[in-house]
Homo-oligomer: A and B are copies of this chain.
Amino acid sequence: MAKIVRINMTKKEVLVEAVPEKYFMLGGRGLTSQVILDEVDPLCHPLGKNNKLVIASGLLTGTTAPSSGRISIGAKSPLTGGIKESNAGGTVSRKLARLGIKAIIVEGQPEEKEMYIVKIDKNEIVLLPASGLENMGNYDTVKYLKKVHGNDVGVVSIGQAGEMLLSIASIAVTDMEGLPTRHCGRGGLGAVMGSKGIKAIVVDDEGASEQLLEIKDKEGFTAIGRNLAKTLIETKVGLKNFGTASLVDPVAAIGALPSRNYSSGDFAGKEKINGQALQNFILEKGGKYGHSCSPGCVIRCSNVVHNKDGEYLTSGLEYETLGLCGSNLEIDDLNVIGTISFKCDDYGIDTMETGVAIGIAMEAGVLTFGNGDEAIKLIDEIAEGTTLGKVLGQGATVTGKVLGVKRIPAVKGQAFAAYDPRAMKGNAYTYATTPMGADHTAGNALPGRGAWVGPVDPNKKDNYQEASRDLQIFATVLDVMGFCNFVGISPVEGEIIAQLLSKVTGEEYTLDDVKEIGMKTIKCEIKFNRLAGFTKADDRLPEFINEELLPPKNLKNDITDQEFDEVFNL
């Protein structure tokens, strides 16, 4: 029987609860957001005892559907002050599903600073003291926990940053190799986990074989999943060969690749960090491309990167990191960007928020654009807890305020992803209107995406209002299901999901029903944010996006307030 695990860190008490019926058909982001709306005071301090950290497998995680193993983590965000969900691949989601755990709700907090390990296996869920792990990075933490609890466990953990309650702290999830490389990066959820006094959650699914989701027509479901897998394998060859780094060229081509703290949309060194360059680097130094980040993923866009000396450097070197810690900082050295990626993963900080914050510090003259050594040193300062490190640790918006930089590329207090919205109008809509802050995964209008609503030239706003709305809805559906974003955010995949859900329930699901699932979650998130004090004034891009022309295409924002408000009309 599917269950919810409720961990009260004030009382150090673990309760196992039945799943309320209203949560049966929710999973992932749909479930985390609904629990937060149901249980969290929108005005609570994000790092206080009244916030809750909710961890949920996708609705389809553990089934035969391909690429459905993502794990969603949600809370009121210390970065945005609003609701937040951030999801990652890795092995833990499927392990939780096999243990029949639909969600973990962590509430309360220890009176004094104490850190614990939550150990979950098929027999029990216990809290163990995290003695000896204090102030330890994710890599060593996971290494230690695997030594104690077995090599096959999955681990959700925080590094130094989460313990330090930094608003850029991420939550790491172990990957297929058992390394803490998959991160729920955005929104400072690592700080919420730290504030609860939890250093790591160790999940051992040995001997477990529960089925989270009851499927009425298993054979029919598996057949549809198999077809989907076949399509994904056939169509995502570019991602398999070049990873998300394959985005560098097309994003630069439309003039949206951030450079020099979002003062340019192109970068002279782009060919040193693009998909081909990364593939060459991997072929030369060792490592791997075409690598799955979670079990059952057939897209295999991930990679393992070795350093210039041929030793393990980092895993999952992604476009967002290349864009925000590379081109945005004018750094074109893959060895340096890989080092940044590793350190961010180890300290447990979001590479995206970190890259943007460093770009702001560079604009302020604290360090120099293009200087990788200085950037690495500054990242070390974050973990060391110097005053400057603490400033960066609060993210781009606070860094800009403290260092006196007005060009702060952020919405709702969260930094832009690696697409300048002046040259990518679809993401202008998405950044401004998603309840999540300037996320790309909330509805990434990549070149070509959204074409079902009509012609979509990324530089022109034309059809992007409707396209962004659709993309946001479909992206949310994927997040609910536990599907990876690359399964596809379009009506085509929406139809497939409708078919899958029909097989699950034995009832006919239409595309509209599927869209309704996405919209229901978005509405729930907007409701929370409104109660937390957000208004339409928060659904706006920063002033410089309206005023400064972005070279090389010399574009600025031309979407009106009304057009932003019409995306959801809520």
Contact = CB atoms under 8 A, between A and B. Distances in A.
B43 A537 contact: yes
A406 interface: yes
Interface of A is mostly: loop
Interface stretch (A201-209, A395-403, A478-486): A395-403
A386 to B, nearest CB: 8
A538 B543 contact: no
Contacts of A542: 45
Contact of A48 (B45, B404, B406): B406
A321 B241 CA distance: 65
Most buried by B among A402, A532, A535: A402
A404 B537 contact: no
Interface string A514-535: 0000000000000000111111
Interface string A248-281: 0000000000000000000000000000000000
A42 interface: yes
A569 interface: no
B48 A543 contact: yes
A493 to B, nearest CB: 35
A394 interface: yes
A404 B78 CA distance: 11
A537 B406 contact: no
A239 to B, nearest CB: 38
Nearest to A542: B45
A377 to B, nearest CB: 14
A43 B540 contact: yes
Nearest to A529: B537
Contacts of A402: 387, 390-391, 393-394, 398, 402
A492 interface: no
A394 B390 contact: no
Interface in A388-437: 388, 390-391, 393-394, 398, 401-404, 406
A225 to B, nearest CB: 44
Contact of A43 (B48, B543, B544): B543
> Chain A: interface residue count, which band?
35 or more
Contacts of A5: none
A321 B513 CA distance: 61
Copies of this chain held together in the complex: 2
A44 interface: yes
Nearest to A165: B404
Interface in A112-148: none
A537 B543 contact: no
A535 B531 CA distance: 9
A548 B535 CA distance: 30
A533 B543 contact: no
Nearest to A407: B45
A164 interface: yes
Contact of A391 (B387, B532, B538): B387
A50 interface: yes
A400 to B, nearest CB: 10
A362 B386 CA distance: 16
A167 interface: yes
Nearest to A401: B394
Given A164-B404, A386-B387, A387-B388, 10 more contacts: A43-B537, A48-B543, A167-B401, A387-B391, A390-B391, A390-B402, A402-B402, A532-B537, A533-B535, A533-B538
19 contacts: A42-B537, A43-B537, A43-B540, A44-B543, A45-B543, A45-B544, A48-B543, A167-B401, A387-B387, A387-B402, A390-B402, A394-B401, A398-B401, A402-B402, A530-B535, A533-B534, A533-B538, A534-B535, A535-B535
Interface of A: 42-45, 47-48, 50, 164-165, 167, 386-388, 390-391, 393-394, 398, 401-404, 406, 530-535, 537-538, 540, 542-544
Closest 6 CB pairs of A and B: A533-B537, A387-B387, A387-B388, A45-B543, A390-B402, A533-B535
